[in-house]
Chains A and B, each alone.
Chain A
Amino acid sequence: MGSSTSLVPKSVTAAINAHGFGYFGCPHTFGQVGYRLKRTEQYIRVKPDNSSVVTDGVKHSMNPFCEIAVEEAVKLKEKKLIKEVVAVSCGPQQVQETIRTALAMGADRGIHVEVTGKDYETLGPLQVSKIMAALAKKEEAQLVILGKQAIDDDCNQTGQMTAALLDWPQGTFASELSLEGDKIKVVREIDGGLETIKINTPAVVTADLRLNTPRYATLPNIMKAKKKKIANVKPADLGVDITSRLEVLRVDEPPQRQAGMKVETVDDLVGKLKEAGMV
């Protein structure tokens, strides 16, 4: 996980999760700079000591839900409903690339919260939420928009925890967002369908898939983004203790898919399922 996208209306902070996703059912259990498998590259593998997955040489890119969050923030600014978009990411030097992408998409400035080495490996949603909360207060943010979850660990916690730490209302799994005066109307995707809520600002919102389609950064905007500033901070500067309370005991690949078996009739199928103790 590492970081989440948060947008702040007057000063919108978008924290970008440089996350990726692993194919082939590899479990992700901890915050990482995300990795994204390309079809033509290697599969995600678990390290021989079962401590984590191999990240060397795996391409990392912005978490897709964070892209959607950045896009939403930029759209709000284009509609002149918010003043500034700040993109935030936590992690080692490489996350600056991801912040630059957000700047090229239209964010005004970036904040790189430097977390490296072992600290980075154990950085989890709780720690990031503390960082986001501290930054949101410092920047006097009105709205924090994050991706709903990172696709490498699928934690789906940072947004909620950030709101709790700040004691702000939250609109999670947003598929639609509109500002109405000093309130925010959020249409949330829930199991039963869609739920519409209205929350006060300042608030935390997490972006779901259908919120928007992120734009490509155009070449001229990539060039302009070079002039935008990325500030550097450390968690300690924000008074945040990022010690983890979690210890990862083991990481395993999912079991190999076994061959199936064919049956002739539905009764046979039910019989086999009963034999296997499944019904």
Chain B
Amino acid sequence: TVILEILSLENKLTDQQKEFQQLARKFAREEIVPAAATYDRTGEYPVPIIKKAWELGLMNGHIPQEYGGMGLSIFDNCLITEELAYGCTGVQTAIEANSLGQMPVILAGSDAQKSKYLGRMTEEPLMCAYCVTEPGAGSDVSGIKTRAVKMGDEYVVNGQKMWITNGGKANWYFLLARSNPDPKCPAGKAFTGFIVEADTPGIQIGRKEMNMGQRCSDTRGITFEDVRIPKENVLITEGAGFKIAMGAFDNTRPPVAAGATGLAQRALDEATTYALERKTFGKVIAEHQAVSFLLAEMAMKVELARMAYQRSAWEVDQGRRNTYYASIAKAFAGDIANQVATDAVQVFGGNGFNSEYPVEKLMRDAKIYQIYEGTAQIQRLIIAREHLGRYKK
């Protein structure tokens, strides 16, 4: 019955979902696609596109209606994300980072915190960021060293964060810091989640990092030097941070997988169009089996990645724990995005290697999908744990 429900769901989007998808598609094709190559070359933050996306309601979809948002389901958000990513994953990541930063507040914030920090996102086009990774700790979140020390009614934070998407553009951060210095304290109790205003004294924003792909996205190191955070900005309570930080991922991995799928779909479309135009040995290259088989395998991967993210989104929307499906979707979509983008370059041949053609950018953009939001290896750890856990029951 679960299978039937999902199949009918996937084949029949509701009218409203179709309209959302069409709006996002139109916006991506008309506003993002034409500008993407230039933003990639210059690395400039795509402010006009983000502003327009915000005006159309294509951003911040997770914010509940009580706080001025649209309270869209994860599934609806994924539909939109895939379409935007089709246009440019750099732009889409800048937008998605808002969702990641907001998710801890949506899941664990008090009413006052939600009103204050989610409310403002719906009143103006602001950005926020998820501030967890450090130069010395990425996958091993429990190894982060940024320290939060309680002093009276405040916490004083010192440390260094790295690779923070929207780091230089955020209005506020979700910050994870170690509040219990005892090394024997279990991870589940040693960390605290904070909401930090970006203009708090002591926050030093590093330079914009020049990355391989998704180059218009703003990624920075951030230094915290005696930054004072009021205790009102603690999420839930001291020591509750680890679970909050990790819990966000079950909601944000499906959209990330959707983004990777959007990139893969774009690569497939570009490669297919080219293969129907380029001629060699007397016919269009699509009629040579070597190429058509490549395209067939690319198509298989795209369709399966889509089904995977839709399943993981649907599971969490039904109120169920979706960790297993979310990790599968993210791992699979990230991997196939890289494969499909590489194959697209191959289909284009020499032209594919050149910056005048759109596919080399896709190949560069795809790589990060195997790294952020939990590396491909971490996803496998999670999937194995979840999978084996089912057998042990």
- B19 on the A face (CB < 8 A): yes
- B130 on the A face (CB < 8 A): no
Contact A101 B57 (CB under 8 A): no
* A104→B56 CA distance, assembly (Å): 11
Residues in A with CB closer than 8 Å to B42 are none
In the complex, per-residue mask of A98-112: 1 if CB is within 8 Å of any chain B CB, else 0: 001100100000000
In the complex, per-residue mask of A214-248: 1 if CB is within 8 Å of any chain B CB, else 0: 00111111110010000000000000000000000
- B288 on the A face (CB < 8 A): no
- A258 on the B face (CB < 8 A): no
Q: Which of B20-28, B88-96, B346-354 contacts A (4 or more CB under 8 A)?
A: B20-28
Residues in B with CB closer than 8 Å to A97 are 15, 18-19
In the complex, per-residue mask of B251-285: 1 if CB is within 8 Å of any chain A CB, else 0: 00000000000000000010011000000000000
B residues 52-72 with Cβ under 8 Å of A?
55-58, 61, 70
- B8 on the A face (CB < 8 A): no
- A256 on the B face (CB < 8 A): no
Query: Contacts A39-B273, A40-B272, A40-B273 known; A217 to B23 CB distance under 8 Å?
Result: yes
A residues 108-133 with Cβ under 8 Å of B?
none
Partner of A218, one of B16, B57, B61, B273: B57
Residues in A with CB closer than 8 Å to B273 are 39-40
Residues in B with CB closer than 8 Å to A104 are 19
Contact B272 A216 (CB under 8 A): no
In the complex, per-residue mask of B23-56: 1 if CB is within 8 Å of any chain A CB, else 0: 1001100000000000000000000000000011
Residues in B with CB closer than 8 Å to A222 are 16, 19-20, 23
Residues in B with CB closer than 8 Å to A101 are 19, 22
Contact B57 A219 (CB under 8 A): yes
* A189→B70 CA distance, assembly (Å): 42
Size class of the B contact interface (CB-based, 8 Å): 10 to 19
Residues in A with CB closer than 8 Å to B70 are 219-220, 223
Contact B269 A40 (CB under 8 A): yes
Partner of B26, one of A216, A219, A223, A226: A216
Q: Name the distance in Å between B26's Cβ and chain A's nearest Cβ.
A: 7
- Give the one of A40, A101, A219, A222 with max B CB within 10 A: A219
Contact B56 A100 (CB under 8 A): no
* A92→B70 CA distance, assembly (Å): 32
* A104→B27 CA distance, assembly (Å): 15
Contact B19 A100 (CB under 8 A): yes
* A221→B70 CA distance, assembly (Å): 11
* A104→B272 CA distance, assembly (Å): 34
Contact B56 A219 (CB under 8 A): yes
Query: Which B residue's beta carbon lies closest to that of A101?
Result: B19
- Give the one of B55, B56, B58, B70 with max A CB within 10 A: B56
Q: Name the distance in Å between A2's Cβ and chain B's nearest Cβ.
A: 20
* A63→B273 CA distance, assembly (Å): 25
* A39→B29 CA distance, assembly (Å): 11
Q: Name the distance in Å between A63's Cβ and chain B's nearest Cβ.
A: 15
Contact A226 B16 (CB under 8 A): yes
Chain B residues with CB under 8 Å of chain A are 15-16, 18-20, 22-23, 26-27, 55-58, 61, 70, 269, 272-273
Which 7 A-B pairs have CB atoms at the shortest separation, nearest pair first?
A: A219-B57, A218-B56, A40-B269, A222-B19, A218-B57, A220-B57, A216-B56
Chain A residues with CB under 8 Å of chain B are 39-40, 97, 100-101, 104, 216-223, 226
Q: List 22 A-B pairs, Cβ < 8 Å.
A: A40-B269, A40-B272, A97-B18, A100-B15, A216-B23, A216-B26, A216-B27, A216-B56, A218-B55, A218-B56, A218-B57, A219-B20, A219-B57, A219-B58, A219-B61, A219-B70, A221-B57, A222-B16, A222-B19, A222-B23, A223-B16, A226-B15
Beyond A219-B70, A223-B70: 20 further Cβ-contacts under 8 Å? A39-B273, A40-B272, A40-B273, A97-B15, A97-B19, A100-B15, A100-B19, A104-B19, A216-B27, A216-B56, A217-B19, A217-B23, A218-B55, A218-B56, A218-B57, A219-B61, A221-B57, A222-B16, A222-B19, A226-B15
